[in-house]
Chain A
Amino acid sequence: MLMFRKLIIVLVTILISGFNANAGSDGELIIKKNQPAEIKDCFETVNRATFAFNQALDGAIFKPISSAYRVLPSPVKSGVSNSLENLSNLVTIPNNVLQGEFKKAGINSGRFVINTTVGILGFINVAEYLGFPEYEKEDYGQSLATMGVSPGCYLVLPVLGPSTVRDTTASVANFIGGDAWYNVTVNNDTQYFSDFDYYASRITSGVDFRAKNFDAIENLEQNSIDFYASVKSLYLQDRQQKILNTNKVIETQNDSDWEEIETQ
């Protein structure tokens, strides 16, 4: 209960400090606030140093592990991936509620129950076979964004990678009651789970992401003239898409720049 109170206080504080006076939260305003070009890189020197540290860490640990992980049989990899996605429902569902998406909260709750039970701890995505709509992951940063909170400056976190001030601040909610998986593993002393389960799931999640994007990351690194700037751009574009829950590029791109280019 104390944790829940803390969570509410933090969320309210972030909301008050982050809201602009007009607090408009329609689609256009959200697009504008989250345009990658609009997000300042206030801590660029520190960010670049952290980025270099993360790259070294990746080369020494994540890349070799991901490389080995990739040779595992496909059913094992997709099973692990499904289990991790299933766990993420525990953060997605409260955020569906915070964003007023009650129907999605219901669907995701059903998805979680079915996949955890019939799908053997999420290993098999039974809900997908049953025709559930495509899963969209949500987090506390996305909820704040949909409420009109600006992203603030771009940040690169050690180990965890790219983020923004808003998203980093919002992620505190996970550790003060907003993530049921953290609550039953680290926060509370239960007989069934331990701290190890939580940290193992987080590390596996990182390895799974790195393995899925192995070739793309290598390719990008080799063919970029400023790898830091490329990663920043891709991350911020991805966040913008996730906040709007859209894959439609025309909803997020400003076409006026293209319209100026005449070559025919």
Chain B
Amino acid sequence: MNFKKILIIIFLFNSIFTKSFSLEPSIFVQSTVNRASDILSKNIIKEEKINQLKIIAKETVDIKGVGFYSLGSARKNLNDNQKERYSKLFEDYFLKSFSSRLAEYTNPQIEVINKEVLNKNYTIVNSLLVATENRPEVKIDWRIYTKNPDNPLIRDLIIEGLSLARTQKEEFSSILNSNDGDINALFETLKEFSKN
């Protein structure tokens, strides 16, 4: 009897727990944007802003996934050691590039307006970056990876229809092509970028 009770309690606890932590992609995007916006509007030095933005990026972006997407077909030729090395180099590169780009904005206002479920793995969340004196309104779509609904992750930002992940993929492809497909050349470029 006691065992049955325990099972029921575990079942109930589990279902409540799962429901309360399953994050709706549009709410996930809005809360991520709000967190970033709070940091950007703080009266702290740029380096501190960058460090705090990096923490948000680590929690909310599928950096490993974006990294392998950016490699394109070249990812199929990597051995396990190279994959590990690449993931580390890409994370450093990505965090630097992403946070430096964001740190230039002061208190950006982003409003989530819609979402479109593509399949069980992907939802596109549509948002608007509100216009300022110097810049017109900008449409930003977020490709959210929802395979694990409890832990949605950002995989791409699509600004006015232009995909950042796709741009990065073509940039990496260009570096590989101009170095006869040598992956070490890409490793060196990523390392140099993160160092500077």
A contacts, CB < 8 Å to B = 36-37, 70, 74, 212, 214-215, 219, 222-226, 228-230, 232-234, 237-238, 241, 246-250, 252-253, 255, 257-259, 261-264
Which partner residue on chain B sits nearest A81 by CB separation? B136
Q: Residue B162 at the A interface, CB < 8 A?
A: yes
Q: Say whether, besides A74-B133, A223-B100, A234-B162, A250 and B190 are in contact (CB < 8 Å).
A: no
In the complex the two chains form, is A259's CB within 8 Å of B166's CB?
A: no
CB < 8 Å: which of A37, A212, A226 contacts B171? A226
Check B97–A238 contact: CB distance below 8 A: no
A-B contact count (CB 8 A): 97
Give min CB distance, B57 to chain A, whole Å.
Answer: 14
With an 8 A cutoff between CB atoms, is B167 at the interface? Answer: yes
Q: In the assembled complex, which residues on chain A have CB atoms less than 8 Å from the CB atom of B163?
A: 237, 249, 253
Q: B118 to A250, Cβ gap below 8 A?
A: yes
Contact of A229 among B65, B69, B158, B170 (CB under 8 A): B170
Contact A264 B148 (CB under 8 A): yes
Q: Does the CB pair B170–A247 fall under 8 Å? A: no
| Neighbouring B residues of A263 by C-beta, 8 Å | 62, 64-65, 68, 145, 153
A-B contact list, 13 entries, CB within 8 Å: A37-B170, A70-B134, A215-B135, A225-B171, A229-B171, A230-B167, A233-B171, A249-B158, A249-B161, A255-B118, A258-B143, A259-B121, A262-B147
- The yes or no answer to B86 lying at the interface (CB within 8 A) is no
Write the nearest CB–CB distance from A132 to chain B, whole angstroms.
Answer: 18
Chain A proximity of B132: nearest CB distance (Å): 10
Residues in B whose Cβ lies below 8 Å from that of A257: 69, 72
Q: How far is the CB of A251 from chain B (nearest CB, A)?
A: 10
Chain A nearest CB, measured from B182 CB (Å): 15
Point out the residues of chain A lying under 8 angstroms from B143, CB to CB.
249, 258
Contact status B136-A212, CB under 8 Å: yes
Q: List which B158-175 residues lie within 8 A (CB) of chain A.
A: 158, 160-163, 166-167, 170-171, 173-175
Across-interface contacts of B34 in A (CB, < 8 A) = none
Chain B nearest Cβ from A244, distance in angstroms: 10
A250 to B170, CA, bound (A): 18
Do B139 and A247 have beta carbons less than 8 Å apart? Answer: yes
What is the CB-to-nearest-CB distance from B9 to chain A, in angstroms, rounded to a whole number? Answer: 28
B189 at interface, CB cutoff 8 A: yes
Residues in B lying within 8 Å of A, measured CB to CB:
62, 64-65, 68-69, 72, 93, 97, 100-101, 104, 116, 118, 121-122, 124, 133-136, 139, 141, 143, 145, 147-148, 151, 153, 155, 158, 160-163, 166-167, 170-171, 173-175, 189-190, 193
Task: Output the least CB separation between B194 and chain A (Å).
Answer: 10
A5 to B195 CA separation, bound complex (whole angstroms): 60
What is the bound-complex CA distance between A60 and B130, given in angstroms? 31
- Give A57 to B177 CA distance when docked, in angstroms: 28
Q: Once the chains are docked, how many angstroms separate the CA of A264 from the CA of B175?
A: 29
Could you tell me if A230 and B171 are in contact, using CB atoms closer than 8 angstroms? yes
Q: In the complex, given contacts A226-B175, A233-B167, A249-B143, what are 10 additional A-B residue pairs having Cβ atoms less than 8 angstroms apart?
A: A219-B101, A225-B171, A229-B175, A232-B174, A234-B162, A238-B162, A246-B161, A247-B139, A257-B69, A259-B121
B144 to chain A, nearest CB (A): 12
Known contacts A258-B122, A263-B62, A264-B145; is-contact A222 B100 (Cβ 8 Å): yes
Complex: how many Å from CA A253 to CA B162?
10
Q: Is the CB of A247 within 8 A of B161?
A: yes
Asked if A233 contacts B166 (CB within 8 A), the reply is: yes
Does B189 lie within 8 Å of A36, measured CB to CB? no
Given A228-B174, A238-B162; A223-B97 close (CB under 8 Å): yes
A231 to B50, CA, bound (A): 25
Bound Cα distance from A225 to B158, whole angstroms: 19
